[in-house]
Structure 1
Amino acid sequence: MPVRQGNTDSLLLGDDDTPLARMRVTDEDGTPVASDVRPLPGVAPARLVAQVRRDLAGFRLETPDEALAAALVSDGLTVARAATDMRHHLADLPEPVALPDGWALGAPGWDDDLAEGLAAAYGPDHPDGRWEPSDTDEVRAMFDTGEPVPPLVPASARLLDPDGRSAGHVLCAGPVPWTDDGCVWILNLGVAPRAQRRGFGRALLVHALRGAHEAGLPSVGLSVVDGNPARRMYDAAGFRVRARVLTVRVPEARRVRE
């Protein structure tokens, strides 16, 4: 077996059954994911490339190992996303942010105003890319069916304007199964353009931190893509770098004509 699955981690094996790398294998909406891929001690990243191409064909591969990512790029693959995995350990919580008159943080949920605001906030030039209809479908599913994970209500909220319309949100889940430290994960934090540059992003972030602490969970995690200006807000709020994560999409294996 090229991949030996355990209760938490899995091993990528060589042709001679030698363990080459440790990773976590999951499935996200039909896409197989190999996350936290780390070569085992003494295994050269270059040795992994052929094994990855064959045994993880069609996977989204996420690794904090820059040498492995560089070896895959040298073999013709492309880094699809470069981001920083951050954590806040909730030991020193920021004070709640006072909102202007008429503005409020309300119960988490989803509506057309929020969908429209996030579509405008995540345009084609955003470092994380455009907000897609599939993103809306995923958020709706969290609230409607709890899949793939239900929202963590104490740490999630909508930003409401003086007319009661949604102008942004923070959406959290936790503890999430794709981390090894049982943390709360900020899945999305966004503010509609009409409400930006007024401190609402920090208000939502602080709400998430304090709500996670209220829920009794140990830390809050997030992933921020390179070039996202929100990184400054996370640093100022007390988040610390845990790892840099590079994402590579491994192409499907080519079919050989008979």
Structure 2
Amino acid sequence: MNTHPERPEGRPDRLAEAGLRLYRRTGDRRALERLFTLNGGILGSIAQRHSRASGESYEDLLQVGYVGLMKAVRGFDELKGTRFSTYAHAMIEGEIRHYLRDAALLQPVRRPRWARSLYAKVARATAELMAELGRPPLTEEIARKVNVTPEGIEELMKVYLDTSVRSLDATGPEKGAPPPDLSAIRSLHHETFALPIEDRIWLEEAMETLSELQRKVLHHLYYEDLSQSETGERLGLSQRKVSRIAAASIKLLAGRA
């Protein structure tokens, strides 16, 4: 009889591995979510360390790390005797390092921050779709998930990684391929944005400095793609008042650019 107390670090691994077996057997999303929760500390720690060292956004690295975690879920083999947490750590670390290496190699391209943020959202969506579908998702499936046209997803990959996301194993474009067309990165449900997507992403971060009414006005105009008249009807304001609030808000935001 073993009288030694159980090592506390072993229990999360056993819970994770039990959840992994359940997810693989039944496809139960709750088991997968539990698996993510149990390994959230590892993911956050790796993302935070690399964020401090590289200056990249913690949230972006966190979302990229989810891709590594999902790959760990797909590739873990408990018969090899490795703990799931050890394997997941290596996969998350590798995915983030890959992201950062490509960022450094493509630095001369001067990829804008909005492209990096959007790519991280695409990476997270890809991981979630892999879990749901049991296979690498198609471009069209990713596009629906993040509300960007398929053409926009392809162009984003050219901007960020010079590769296609038709599948996770797809190869990059041939040498001499035309440069990416940033204007192709558009909303899926509204073909034309009142503002370019880079400005919309920047607005989302900057709008926290505005009043509640100012945020509502800009949200209706630039996120829901409503006209000034429609925005006024929603908020009980005249079109002229909406126009003034929008102009003043944009002026305030411009001072932060």
- Measured against the shorter chain, the TM-score band is under 0.3
Greater RCO, 1 or 2 (C-alpha within 8 Å, sep 6+): 1
State the TM-score, normalized to the length of structure 2: 0.23
Q: Which has the higher strand share?
A: 1
State the TM-score, normalized to the length of structure 1: 0.23
Q: Which has the higher helix share?
A: 2
Larger Rg: 2
